[in-house]
Amino acid sequence: MVCVLCTALNGETGPHFKLLADAGYECVVPDRSQDLWNNEVLTQVIQGFDAIIAGSEPYPAAVIAASPQLRVLARAGVGFDAIDLTACDEHKIVVATTPGVNHHAVAEHATAMMMAIGRGFPALDQEVRRCEWKRIPLPRISECTLGLVGLGRIGQATATRAVGLGMKVLAFDPYPSADFVKQYDITMVSLEDLLAKSDFVSLHSPMTPTTKHMINDKSIATMKDGAVVINTARGPLIDEAALIRALKSGKLRAAGLDVFEVEPLPASSPLMSMPNVLLSGHIAGMDNESHEDTWALGANIIIRLSRGEWPAECIQNLKGVTDWKW
């Protein structure tokens, strides 16, 4: 019997159980009290499983090498930077993602963070609870400029919402959709121009060696005074130490962060106590619809691979391997 482990958070419920059971496979979830971000713990937990519907936990070479039965890593989400693809190549493990199911959820979350910060929340709520009434005007959001770093599915979904709010939208992307750009009157600019001209900067880029710490002391210095940074993509896109310095100095007005360099965010992080930072715990891609669709797609990828098919969601990481099979 094919054994599937669902390590992704919130995978205790969803259509993947029935889909896999109907295909004759067993699907289980791990003991959530275990620290799956610890390599030794993760190695022990995944032993004996053929496929994993993975979350954000890292899969370095050592974990991959110690899991000889593993055939598939189906990542619940679109990022695979936490997975050592070279090691997966060597051990003939297929890596897949679940694109196209959570872009609306992430776009809504990014927009919600932007709107909340733009209108002064959560500070206004906290002040009223302290019986403090402060009336400080803030810039009208509809007259602000939003800069989108990345114009893929999520960037596009965020752009349509910003256009609906009446914002001017700038975007930086090496390969934008010309039709989308024209339809929604998006202004494509260089990253340097985007940072210099945007009141809000929302990150929607993948995590790569070239995008790591794209928001740093140098790039922040080129941004507008009082700009706001929103990150619902990947934590390491931002040099958190540099961001904290800019938030403390007032160079940046605020930040909305759903992802972090270290997750879960340590209690010792200065971000925890900063009143101009809005936090959430890597949940932007989750709503009822994306929850159902992600688990269903992850399960179907595994089922199709076991039947000898090669779904489009697979990362073509098995270089030179033409005889892959379950």
Catalytic site residues? 234, 263, 282
CA pair distance 91, 289, nearest whole angstrom: 34
Q: What number of other Cβ atoms are within 10 A of residue 140's Cβ? A: 10
Contacts of 233 (CB under 8 A, 6+ apart): 150, 154, 203, 204, 205, 206, 207, 259
| 238 neighbors 205 (Cβ within 8 angstroms) | no
Question: Which DSSP string do the residues of 195-206 spell out, in sequence order?
Answer: HHH-SEEEE---
Specify the amino acid at residue 145.
Answer: T
Pairing mode, if any, of strands 3-6 and 51-54?
parallel
CA pair distance 161, 253, nearest whole angstrom: 22
Q: Find tokens 């992307």 and name the residue.
A: 173
CA pair distance 271, 307, nearest whole angstrom: 47
CA pair distance 144, 6, nearest whole angstrom: 42
Cβ burial 239-259 (10 Å sphere, 16+ → b, else e): bbebbbebbeeebbbbbbbbb
Element (H, E) at 42: helix 39-45
Name which of 211, 4, 214 is nearest 96 in CA terms: 4
| 227 neighbors 118 (Cβ within 8 angstroms) | no
